[in-house]
Amino acid sequence: MTYAIETIGLTKQFGAYKAVNNLGLKIPEGSICGFLGKNGAGKTTTIKMLVGLAKPTNGSIFLMKTERRFGHCNNSAIGYLPDVPNFYGYMTATEYLDFCGKLYGMESKKRKSRIDELLKWVDLLGVKTLISGYSRGMKQRLGIAQALMNEPHVIILDEPISALDPIGRHEVMEIIRSLHGLVTVFFSTHILSDVESVCDYGLILEKGKVLADDSIENIKKKHSSNTAVIRLCSSVDGSRFHSLAKGRVDLTIEEKSPVEFIMRGENMQTLGRCVPSMLSEAGIALESYKAYVPSLEDIFLEVTANA
């Protein structure tokens, strides 16, 4: 597997405080990666180091196998959108993208066709007003367009949806979704449902350390491997089962409703053996038994609470 973004022992220290601690990232090429973490977890610091705007205290960064250095201005392979994008308000969207294209050394003809293509993509084609008159959502969409101007291999977006209303958020997420397979997208956010719906790769950062780093599917599998949801036929059976399960040391039980329970054991095999035998011994009828797939939010809360 080739990695679009790779960091080795990436550390950023402010005095005694480690904002990013020995971070080892391996983001597969072509994936859409959601970079999750609470406020102050170190997401923006990591992103700034990735794009060369902040100097790592330690460690190395490789983008498309090329090592990045602080202050290095050759960014042809990447596109970047900061958390609060600020454009030159006296320009129009076309002029700003043209300025970006010129900085990347793109030829006039290619620039023009790329600008039209991108403005159409982010639904700003034909908007003639100056950027200073744009709404936040429009600025964020233009921000994504400028990050894509040079046809980069990787785009790094810092909280592209955090300041937007639901409609703006939806529009930006749709744009990100449409990038799947075209470029590697690495974006930070704390809106977990969006990551769940759009990303195929997830990273959870807390206090500068990675707590989870895998495909969304694997993260969910990993955190559901010891949990099952059982549903019984009656509430009488439910209360009997609840009192039986509470007495066991190898199981934990959480009541979702009088007939539905979340069971946790050492692993799925243990659960698969213990729960049916308990039910059979007590003569309780089982309606359904299924492995529990937690939402990303459940996983996020679980791993950050344990950190």
Partner 1 sequence: MRSFIVFIQKEWMELVRTKKFFILLCVFALFGMLSPVTARYMQEIIIMVMGDTMPLTVAPATWIDSWGQFYSNLSQMGGICLIFLFMGCITGEKQSGSAAMTLTKNLSHTNFVTAKFATATAVFFLSLLPAALICFGYTHFLFGYAGEIINVLLSVVAYAVFMLTLLAITVLTSAISRSTTVGAILAFCGFIILSVSGYVPKIGFVLPGTLLSKTVELSFGTPYSGMIWSLIISLCISALCLYLSVLSLKRQEI
Residues lying near partner 1 in the complex (CB under 8 A) are found at 48, 51-55, 71, 73-76, 78, 80-82, 84-88, 90-91, 95, 99-100, 102-105, 146, 150
Looking at the Cβ atoms of 85 and 265, the one nearer to partner 1 is 85
Give Cα 176 distance to the centre of its chain.
12
Backbone angles phi, psi at 66, to 5 degrees: -105, 130
Q: Give dist(CA 184, CA 76) in Å, integer.
A: 14
Q: Which of 92, 297, 284 is nearest to 197 (CA)?
A: 297
Looking at the Cβ atoms of 7 and 304, the one nearer to partner 1 is 7
* Least Å from the CB of residue 86 to partner 1: 4
Looking at the Cβ atoms of 7 and 150, the one nearer to partner 1 is 150
Looking at the Cβ atoms of 104 and 121, the one nearer to partner 1 is 104
Per-residue DSSP letters for 18-59? EEEEEE--EEETT-EEEEEE-TTSSHHHHHHHHTTSS--SEE
* Least Å from the CB of residue 42 to partner 1: 14
* Least Å from the CB of residue 30 to partner 1: 22
Give Cα 302 distance to the centre of its chain.
16
* Least Å from the CB of residue 52 to partner 1: 7
| Structure tokens given for 182 | 């075209």
Looking at the Cβ atoms of 102 and 246, the one nearer to partner 1 is 102
Looking at the Cβ atoms of 85 and 202, the one nearer to partner 1 is 85
Looking at the Cβ atoms of 118 and 204, the one nearer to partner 1 is 118
* Least Å from the CB of residue 272 to partner 1: 52
CB 195 within 8 A of CB 43: no
Q: Give dist(CA 197, CA 242) in Å, integer.
A: 35
* Least Å from the CB of residue 83 to partner 1: 8
* Least Å from the CB of residue 54 to partner 1: 4
| Structure tokens given for 41 | 């977890």
Looking at the Cβ atoms of 90 and 280, the one nearer to partner 1 is 90
Q: Give dist(CA 181, CA 31) in Å, integer.
A: 7
CB 199 within 8 A of CB 34: yes
* Least Å from the CB of residue 105 to partner 1: 6
Looking at the Cβ atoms of 87 and 134, the one nearer to partner 1 is 87
Neighbours of 307 (CB within 10 A): 13
First vs last C-alpha separation in the chain: 29
* Least Å from the CB of residue 69 to partner 1: 11
| Structure tokens given for 129 | 């007003």
What does the angle CA 28 – CA 31 – CA 34 come to, to the nearest 5 degrees? 105
Q: Give dist(CA 24, CA 31) in Å, integer.
A: 17
